[in-house]
Structure 1
Amino acid sequence: MADQHTPVPQTSMGSTSQYQKLPDVIRSHRPCKSFRNSKPDSSNFVTSLDFNDQGEHMVAASDDETIQIFDVKEGKSTKTVPSKKYGVHLARFTHHPRQILHASTKVDHSLRLLDLHNEGYIRYFSGHTDKVTCLAMSPGGDAFVSCGKDDTVTLWDIGSRNPQGKLKLATPYLVAFDPSASVIAIASQSTSSVLLYDFRNFDKPPFATFDLAPFEETYTPSTRGHAWTRLEFSNDGKYLMVGTDYHGHFILDAFDGTLKAFLVGKSGSPGRAAPISSTGKPLGQGDVCFTPDGRYVLGGNGDQQDVLVWDLQQERESNGTLHPMARLPHRNRTALIEHNPRYNMIATADKETFFWQPEEPARPSEK
């Protein structure tokens, strides 16, 4: 397949050529801005990252119980909101640019809707009786879904504090909406399965179940039934990714659950308990993500200080594995990674948060 070309939006953090080959753009990303934790001398960690719909702002939650807001186009941190009473994890933008939804780590297990303008809470969502392990906003409206260690999956609407629906499942650890907002995927580690539900018929049995046990037996036998860290649909709706803590990541066909590739090349774990800790490790939300076009997957490399890039259009090995097409140099561990939905920039974090942009290609020397 011929290389695609993509326009690269301009930001004040730097500029790139208007058109470049897509693989070259991916390979050229380098860190261009770094932001220290609010307590730089401490051992606090960033625990979650999220961009708003327009890609102009990013929110980072940290285990020093603060929420930090970034202006992407200006390349700077604009606000830090403390959440000392309740703690904070899994901070997510709603479709309102000044509202943040987050899970609590103290007091109770409620979800909280924060207004960034006045730094006050608009609404609490109470229903979970144990820690929330994943939180997903619907891409098509004000619904969101949470799952927790209480073995429940709860459907909410941002305008009501009362649950709109609830499921009781075995270890529903991760949840994700498909791009059409019509399907909810729920990953259950103890059963090594991913269940697909029709969002409009949430109370009906799943219309599909993907059994990952054979894949785990082949690729991750020592961590079967645990160490899943991320569940994400690609934006084109073709793939469903199950990220893992150590061995690699499963790329499934989003329609029939067949294995498209197992992404290898990681040298170790990011050192995070994802997505919620019961081991004393820092929290996390997985160290892997899709690019917005669905072609590439970006991921951390354990203690190695680089970012791995897999091209899903490349041929996989005969055993189903796919090796990285590129390794982006970095000076810090990548425990969290997110690609901006609108701009050609990446955010990574561990103790510090980094913004990445493509470097300007070298111009040919004049003769």
Structure 2
Amino acid sequence: MAEGQQPPQQPQPASTPQQPQKVCDIIRGFRPAKSYKTAKQDSSHFVTSLDFDDQGDYVVAAGDDETIQIFDVKEGKSTKSVPSKKYGVHLARFTHHSRQVLHASTKVDHSLRLLDLHNEGYVRYFSGHTDKVTCLALSPGSDSFISCSKDDTVALWDLGSRNPQGRLKLATPYLVAFDPSATVIAIASQSTSSVLLYDFRNYDKPPFSTFDLAPYEETYTPSTRGRAWTRLEFSNDGKHLMIGTDYHGHFVLDAFEGTIKAFLVGKNGSSGRAAPVSTTGKPLGQGDVCFSPDGRYVFGGAGDQPDMLVWDLQQDKEANLTLQPMARLSHRSRTAMVEYNPRYNMIASADKDIVFWLPDETPKSSDK
């Protein structure tokens, strides 16, 4: 994925992204500021994962061209490209050290690999899964991390040891997320239409809570029951748990009770990426939706249409708890994945290209 720019009439990034303002003040002002294209204009390669480091200074992208690429957010440019031709790469994630990236393999075996970006060498392999890894989640408070796999296991690891610290055997445990306190882990099993909550310190005990989503699937996503879940994420305030789907919309649940708070509608079809249970052969992905850092807003793709959708969770819902987008941010291509910078008001999205979004410096008063 080589660097390229959008047409000059579009705003270019400042030397640094904007320091955090209230998201509500700039929410409608986000615009594509810079894009990074694949090496060939007619390339059929796709970006498969995006992640910011803890400080919001760097973005790591993985692609099905078997390349890991690092971007400097403040400089607005690509700084490193590391090939992973032998093992492939997916779900590239920064550790708490911005010079280390953990990623899953797509070829040869199903090991996880810890890459040192300074010398472009692998620090450690984490072996044990016997089928493709579908999700990686790093603890916000330690060097622990969790992986889910199509081998129907969830493995708990520490970056300092190549051997798993523990393992759970579940039905289709394809998505996992830590809560902001790093004490609770949520595991989504779509074949059972459930989300299981575990005490991370006592993961070997039964889940302390189970959210049954079967009634909600029957109401909101009847044609994709048992498939199409693509994302599991807690809001930073810990109040909400979101389950992103590939087609109809996204579930936002009360993180304590499991009751539905809103079903986010407005997507038009699929993002074009494979859910973990998919057998369609679509490119890999990590879901096309995320929370804003304040937990109030949700950003997501518009399905098979260009643009990016924004939902305000404080906005009035319809009678059936569906929530329409409060804004549609103009874009020329599909948003197959999206991540909000943890420290700055900046968004990264991707499909074939990687796009940096920044708010207008002087948004109109009507946009506030």
Structure 1 residue 162 displacement after superposition: 0.4
Aligned to 1:107: 108
The answer as to whether partners of 1:182 and 1:199 remain within 8 angstroms in 2 is: yes
Aligned to 2:92: 91
Aligned to 2:119: 118
Counterparts of 1:190-229 in structure 2, within 5 Å, are 190-229=191-230
The answer as to whether partners of 2:299 and 2:311 remain within 8 angstroms in 1 is: yes
Helix, strand or coil at the partner of 1:25:
helix
The answer as to whether partners of 1:298 and 1:309 remain within 8 angstroms in 2 is: yes
Task: From the superposition, tell whether residues 44 and 319 of structure 1 become closer, same or farther in structure 2 (CA, over 3 Å).
Answer: same
Aligned to 1:189: 190
Counterparts of 1:218-367 in structure 2, within 5 Å, are 218-275=219-276, 278-361=279-362
**Which deviates more from structure 2 when the two are superposed, residues 293-302 or residues 23-32?**
23-32
Structure 1 residue 314 displacement after superposition: 0.8
Aligned to 1:7: none
Q: C-alpha deviations, 1:270-314, integer Å up to 9, x for none?
A: 110034764211000000000000000000001211100000011
The answer as to whether partners of 2:155 and 2:168 remain within 8 angstroms in 1 is: yes
| RMSD value, Cα | 1.8
Aligned to 1:134: 135
Aligned to 2:161: 160
Helix, strand or coil at the partner of 1:314:
coil
Structure 2: distance between partners of 1:158 and 1:46: 25
Q: Give the TM-score taking structure 1 as reference length.
A: 0.93
Aligned to 2:6: none
The answer as to whether partners of 2:29 and 2:363 remain within 8 angstroms in 1 is: no
The answer as to whether partners of 1:132 and 1:276 remain within 8 angstroms in 2 is: no
Helix, strand or coil at the partner of 1:331:
strand
Structure 1 residue 241 displacement after superposition: 0.1
5+ residue gaps, structure 2, are 1-11
- Write the letter of the residue equivalent to 1:100: V
Structure 1 residue 164 displacement after superposition: 0.1
The answer as to whether partners of 1:186 and 1:195 remain within 8 angstroms in 2 is: yes
Structure 1: distance between partners of 2:363 and 2:32: 17
Structure 1 residue 268 displacement after superposition: 1.1
Q: C-alpha deviations, 1:91-138, integer Å up to 9, x for none?
A: 000001100000000000000000000000000000000000000000
- Moved beyond 4 Å, runs of 4+: 14-21
Task: From the superposition, tell whether residues 18 and 207 of structure 1 become closer, same or farther in structure 2 (CA, over 3 Å).
Answer: closer
Structure 2: distance between partners of 1:236 and 1:276: 30
Aligned to 2:181: 180
Residue 29 (str. 1) matches residue 30 (str. 2): yes
Structure 1 residue 329 displacement after superposition: 0.2
Helix, strand or coil at the partner of 1:332:
strand
Q: Give the TM-score taking structure 2 as reference length.
A: 0.93
The answer as to whether partners of 1:47 and 1:285 remain within 8 angstroms in 2 is: yes
Structure 2: distance between partners of 1:278 and 1:168: 22
Aligned to 1:6: none
The answer as to whether partners of 2:273 and 2:336 remain within 8 angstroms in 1 is: yes
Helix, strand or coil at the partner of 1:190:
helix
Structure 1: distance between partners of 2:94 and 2:135: 14
Structure 1: distance between partners of 2:320 and 2:95: 41
Task: From the superposition, tell whether residues 53 and 328 of structure 1 become closer, same or farther in structure 2 (CA, over 3 Å).
Answer: same
Structure 2: distance between partners of 1:46 and 1:106: 17
Counterparts of 1:42-53 in structure 2, within 5 Å, are 42-53=43-54
Percent identity for Structure 1 against Structure 2: 79
The answer as to whether partners of 2:112 and 2:127 remain within 8 angstroms in 1 is: yes
- Write the letter of the residue equivalent to 2:257: D
Helix, strand or coil at the partner of 2:201:
helix
Aligned to 1:75: 76
Structure 2: distance between partners of 1:259 and 1:322: 12
The answer as to whether partners of 1:133 and 1:276 remain within 8 angstroms in 2 is: no
Q: C-alpha deviations, 1:173-209, integer Å up to 9, x for none?
A: 1000000000000000100000000000010000000
